[in-house]
């Protein structure tokens, strides 16, 4: 039997023991996610699939030396762009750590480049040993209160539902539109329903009658829960819960109590947005499995939430379990109580060992990267804030979360202008429109960054990905914006006009073709430079990126101004007295 075999019928003589398998894995302790058992049995592989469990003949054997053998891990909701790496480098990083399948929502690049971004991600991810499936971006732009680089309508998305690797309509962030019956929002939901695809959700804090309406629209999942009570309410309405543990948002510890034998089929782990240093230092889905076990969860349940649960949710019936006919995506590790993956099989082939890819590895994409899409109005943006009142609305950063506080602070003025006030940890924040060269700038203030001098700027600003900049002095903010624009997108730290650290992201202003290790090193340099300016957050650029996302409570800033997300409406920088 050769590796090109694809039909289940071809497995029959191997399963009966009449023909040899390509490879038999001996001395394995198989994690059976159907029954919650550990079975001591060989596993035979042929043509990329599991042919049989048992001592059938094989051309080659591999002794697993008593390792536990589990299905390959699945990430049901991830934005590859948040790794800052193009697709092949992302795959090189997560595959050796046991993630063999991801469901990626490319709404970051779609917000910049529209269908050209979708086409690039589909083409660049084809044929990799990491199976990359997709959900289609449902909210481009995320709201009407910001300027994105594209608009994806139901008519635009409809043809993509026919693509074999498209599994769902991605996270429906416009929950007010769903609940209110917005025609365009429901047209997108109808497209997904007619194509037999899932409709993923995004509804932070939603409950009561509004949640009932959201679920009635056919939304079947949510990854934004932060409290057990919220997650249980959604579970009771038939929704599936993706428990997120990313870089900026960490919800696993708080939500772990909802996972039980009764709920595990409707619970999954996801990373959503995870920066390179976390992937390289902690891991990917494997890190979430270990964290859940360390938090007291039965290891078999933790593994099931990383395998069978997401596979069943998305109808990936060939994945998620070790059984005849299933795809040969497997991971092996020595300690069930602390699973560190040291063998990874993709489509029946050993592709990684001891944390390293094996030859032939993963080739770079054969498709050219899209343009950087950096269109700024000529001239320096104006960051001055005329004093128009006594109290300011201020965005308050919540460490470890992407939700923010809606704070009111006294406005101090100087010569008729309101400056940053680092003594009160009050830093100026601006979002500069970069898609249409409109010159539009939204200005606000943020506390929690800790900056005492200089500025930070980034072209990664969810979800419209305009330029976002935070700083103490307007000139430094302008210099940081200019440097990011000159790089074709990226991250920069500036003090007194000097660039202290930078990372170019020339692919749509979101990604680079550099390996994750190099991206991590550059990010560490950027974080160190931010600390020189007084910054106190462990990942200031990840925090900065979410300050522009007007679908996550409570107060956010876009190029059009401040947004009260809880009321889903623009608000003035100055509050009434």
Of 19, 49, 66, the domain-final residue: 66
Name the residue among 81, 95, 101 with its Cα closest to residue 167: 101
The torsion angle over the Cα atoms of residues 438, 439, 443 and 447, rounded to 10 degrees, is 100
Residue 79 lies in a domain: yes
Residue 517 lies in a domain: yes
Of 315, 335, 357, the domain-final residue: 357
Name the residue among 506, 510, 542 with its Cα closest to residue 523: 542
Instruction: Tell me the helices (H) and strands (E) count for the chain, helix number first.
Output: 17, 31
Same domain, 488 and 509: yes
Same domain, 213 and 98: yes
> What pLDDT is recorded for position 278?
94
Same domain, 420 and 444: yes
Same domain, 510 and 556: yes
Q: How many CB atoms lie within 10 A of CB 547?
A: 25
Measure the CA–CA gap between 267 and 263, rounded to whole angstroms.
Answer: 6
Name residue, tokens 């290790």: 517
Same domain, 323 and 399: no
Same domain, 351 and 477: no
Of 48, 66, 84, the domain-final residue: 66
Residue 570 lies in a domain: yes
Range of the domain at 496: 391-575
Give the count of domains, the chain.
Answer: 3
Same domain, 59 and 103: no
Each residue's pLDDT tens digit in the chain (577 positions)? Answer: 344 445 889 999 999 999 999 999 999 999 999 999 999 999 999 999 999 999 999 999 999 999 999 999 999 999 999 999 999 999 999 999 999 999 999 999 999 999 999 999 999 999 999 999 999 999 999 888 999 999 999 999 999 999 999 999 999 999 999 999 999 999 999 999 999 999 999 999 999 999 999 999 999 999 999 999 999 999 999 999 999 999 888 999 999 999 999 999 999 999 999 999 999 999 999 999 999 999 999 999 999 999 999 999 999 999 999 999 999 999 999 999 999 999 999 999 999 999 999 999 998 888 888 877 799 999 999 999 999 999 999 999 998 788 899 999 999 999 999 999 999 999 999 999 999 999 999 999 999 999 999 999 999 999 999 999 999 999 999 999 999 999 999 999 999 999 999 999 999 999 999 999 999 999 999 999 999 999 989 889 989 999 999 988 999 999 999 999 998 899 999 997 5
Name residue, tokens 């040899």: 20
Same domain, 149 and 233: yes
Residue 284 lies in a domain: yes
Measure the CA–CA gap between 436 and 187, rounded to whole angstroms.
Answer: 27
Tell me if residue 296 falls in helix, strand or coil: coil
Tell me if residue 234 falls in helix, strand or coil: helix
> What pLDDT is recorded for position 221?
98
CATH of the domain at 34: 2.30.40.10
Task: Kindly give, in sequence order, each residue whose CB lies less than 8 Å from that of residue 573, ignoring residues fewer than 6 positions away.
Answer: 385, 388, 392, 393, 443, 444, 445, 561, 562
Tokens of 231: 């997650």
Q: Structure pTM? A: 0.94
What DSSP character marks residue 351?
E
CA contacts within 13 A on the Cβ side of 117: 30
Residue 500 lies in a domain: yes
**Contact (CB, 8 A) for 1 and 40:** no
Task: Kindly give, in sequence order, each residue whose CB lies less than 8 Å from that of residue 561, ignoring residues fewer than 6 positions away.
Answer: 145, 442, 443, 444, 570, 571, 572, 573
Residue 95 lies in a domain: yes
| Sign, CA torsion 3/6/10/15 | positive
Q: What kind and span of H or E run contains 305?
A: helix 299-305
Task: Kindly give, in sequence order, each residue whose CB lies less than 8 Å from that of residue 254, ignoring residues fewer than 6 positions away.
Answer: 226, 227, 228
Same domain, 319 and 441: no
Same domain, 41 and 100: no
Measure the CA–CA gap between 255 and 240, rounded to whole angstroms.
Answer: 13
Measure the CA–CA gap between 499 and 477, rounded to whole angstroms.
Answer: 11
Measure the CA–CA gap between 530 and 68, rounded to whole angstroms.
Answer: 43
Same domain, 34 and 74: no
Q: Is residue 13 packed enough to be buried (19+ CB in 10 Å), middle (13-18) or exposed (0-12)? A: middle
Dihedral class, residue 94 (left if φ above 0, else alpha if ψ from -120 to 50, else beta):
alpha
How many angstroms from the chain centroid is the CA of residue 194?
26
Same domain, 116 and 251: yes
Beta-strand ranges (E) seen in 21-98 are: 21-26, 29-32, 37-40, 43-46, 49-53, 58-63, 68-71, 73-78
**Contact (CB, 8 A) for 256 and 247:** no
Measure the CA–CA gap between 307 and 291, rounded to whole angstroms.
Answer: 16
């Amino acid at each position: 039997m050769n590796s090109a075999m694809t039909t289940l019928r071809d497995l029959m003589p191997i399963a009966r023991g009449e023909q040899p398998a390509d490879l038999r894995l001996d001395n394995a302790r198989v994690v059976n996610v159907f029954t919650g058992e550990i079975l001591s049995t060989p596993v035979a592989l042929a043509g990329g699939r599991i042919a049989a469990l048992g001592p059938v003949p094989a051309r080659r054997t591999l002794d697993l030396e008593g390792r536990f053998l589990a299905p390959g891990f699945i990430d049901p909701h991830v934005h590859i762009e948040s790794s800052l790496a193009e697709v092949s480098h992302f795959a090189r990083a997560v595959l050796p750590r046991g993630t063999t399948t991801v469901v990626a929502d490319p709404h970051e690049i779609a917000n910049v480049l529209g269908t050209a971004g979708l086409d690039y991600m589909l083409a660049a991810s084809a044929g990799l040993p990491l199976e990359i499936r997709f959900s289609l971006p449902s909210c481009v732009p995320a709201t009407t209160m910001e300027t994105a680089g594209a608009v994806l309508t139901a008519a635009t998305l409809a043809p993509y539902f026919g693509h074999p690797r498209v599994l769902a309509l991605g996270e429906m962030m416009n929950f007010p539109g769903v609940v209110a019956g917005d025609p365009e929002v429901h047209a997108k939901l109808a497209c997904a329903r007619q194509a037999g695809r899932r409709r993923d959700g995004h509804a932070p804090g939603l409950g009561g009658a509004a949640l009932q309406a959201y679920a009635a629209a056919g939304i079947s999942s949510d990854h934004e829960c932060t409290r057990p009570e919220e997650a249980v309410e959604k579970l009771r309405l038939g929704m599936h819960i993706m428990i997120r543990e990313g870089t900026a948002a960490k919800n696993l510890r708080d939500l772990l109590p909802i996972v039980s034998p009764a709920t595990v089929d409707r619970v999954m782990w996801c990373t959503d947005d995870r920066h390179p240093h976390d992937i390289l230092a902690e891991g990917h889905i494997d890190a979430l499995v270990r964290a859940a076990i360390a938090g007291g969860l039965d290891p078999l349940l933790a593994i099931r939430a990383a395998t069978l649960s997401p596979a069943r949710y998305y109808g990936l019936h060939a994945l998620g379990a070790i059984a005849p006919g299933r795809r040969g995506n497997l991971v092996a590790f020595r300690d069930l109580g602390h699973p560190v993956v040291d063998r990874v099989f993709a489509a029946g082939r050993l592709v990684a060992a001891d944390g390293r890819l094996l030859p032939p590895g993963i080739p770079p994409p054969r498709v050219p990267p899209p343009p950087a899409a950096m269109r700024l109005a000529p001239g320096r943006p104006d960051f001055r804030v005329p004093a128009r009142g006594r109290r300011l609305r201020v965005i308050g950063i919540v460490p470890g979360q992407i939700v923010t506080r809606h704070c009111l602070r006294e406005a101090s003025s100087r010569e008729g202008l309101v400056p940053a006030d680092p003594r009160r940890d009050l830093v100026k924040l601006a979002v500069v429109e970069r898609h249409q060269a409109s010159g539009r700038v939204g200005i606000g203030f943020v506390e929690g960054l800790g900056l005492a001098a200089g500025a930070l700027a980034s072209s990664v600003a969810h979800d419209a990905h305009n330029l976002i900049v935070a700083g103490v002095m307007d000139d430094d903010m302008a210099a940081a914006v200019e440097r990011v624009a000159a790089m074709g997108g990226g991250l920069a730290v500036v003090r007194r006009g000097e660039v202290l650290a930078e990372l170019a992201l020339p692919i749509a202003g979101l990604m680079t073709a550099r390996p994750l290790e190099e991206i991590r090193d550059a990010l560490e340099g950027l974080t160190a430079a931010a600390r020189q300016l007084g910054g106190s957050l462990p990942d200031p650029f990840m925090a900065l990126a979410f300050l522009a996302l007007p679908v996550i409570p409570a107060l956010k800033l876009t190029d059009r101004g401040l947004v009260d997300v809880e009321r889903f409406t623009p608000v003035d920088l100055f509050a009434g007295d």
